[in-house]
Amino acid sequence: GGVTLYERSGAGFRVLWRKAEAASCWGVALSPAEPWVAVAVQGGQEAVRVWDYAADRPVEWPEASKLHAAPRGIAFSPDGKY
């Protein structure tokens, strides 16, 4: 599993960012305010992971650790704060 972001390139697409995951990815959300992608990961390490795809680094997201269930769908708030 994993996540791949594409961007338009001429008549086709090119890979903008890719992150492999050992577990399945069930949900993906793009932040409206930052170059961030949140991924709902299923399997042995159920979690929500947030990545800064422009810098290719994880983002500390304290609220993600409060999750007590298997995430399936996720979203950022319209202002990108949550």
pLDDT, position 65: 66
Dihedral sign for Cα 45, 39, 53, 79, please. negative
Alpha-carbon gap, residue 66 to 15, rounded angstroms: 32
DSSP character at residue 35: S
Q: What is the pLDDT of residue 2?
A: 85
Q: In a 3-state reduction of DSSP, which class is residue 65?
A: helix
The pTM assigned to this predicted structure is 0.81
The string of pLDDT tens digits covering residues 18-66 is 998 877 888 899 999 999 999 888 877 778 889 999 999 999 877 776 7
Q: What span, in angstroms and rounded, lies between the C-alpha atoms of 18 and 1?
A: 11
